[in-house]
Structure 1
């Protein structure tokens, strides 16, 4: 059976940063990655966090594509997820294979920058996922999240949610966000 891989990237402003970081940490720390039901629930919870913070979305990007053979889909999924993780120095929390691992947060200098957060959701499914029409349009991004939410438990092959920065004390300015992630675009008003 062929597999589709979809990635949706959403930047959120400073007023939502701490709440989104905390919610994502809680999902990663307590979610069950050992069962299909647990993985499906974790994905739904992460999508709910993003949807609830829609008023704070500032940037967007999406990558869709075509149905792929399983090995090609696996490689593409790993590549997209790795690209999202590679943009920060320390992966503070990770939940994979039923094991939650944490790393000490980096020592950060004090900053008055309110900071933003970037969340990447990468999903592989045993069916075609509707691509996001325009990643600079809130309605299109919302429809993309709804398409991911519509994936049934038995259709979900894999997912990864990456958010950066992961630590509340870490700060990334809008300029840094855009420089580190040249593919993202500011959302249209």
Structure 2
């Protein structure tokens, strides 16, 4: 036993193992950074949606957890799964999929769409609003401030003047929309 301890001290096995562990930790950190950068670029380019990347990273994490503990996973699996039961991994993935809203993933970034301009006439505003509502107002990807800026950019002349006194802050977005609807979508009828 004494000889074994002497050989271990001479070979510096403990310091070599410690260096190897530090190297593995550093490489795993770099791999995580690279995956994060790749996912961010894919989202920015429109190849995948944010929720799809979350699901994908959860799936990768599950596989890494299984691969990280080979001692626990190397034994023979004695658990019998009946035809009616679902494997625990599938049930977990189903719960995660239910928690995250499903979105379609695009393989190609859609072309840039330019919004039309509204000059404040009762005739052109309904068409402008239908396009704005479909592209911007109902979009869950845009922040409220971005919606306000896009709305303001599409208004010219009389339409822009109708919201001129309202401060452009997220809390006033509904007020801006209501003002435009009141002025141009629901004009008062003249009962003469």
Larger-gyration structure (1/2): 2
Between structures 1 and 2, the one with greater strand share: 1
Pick 1 or 2: higher relative contact order, CA cutoff 8 A, min separation 6: 1
**TM score, norm. by length of structure 1:** 0.26
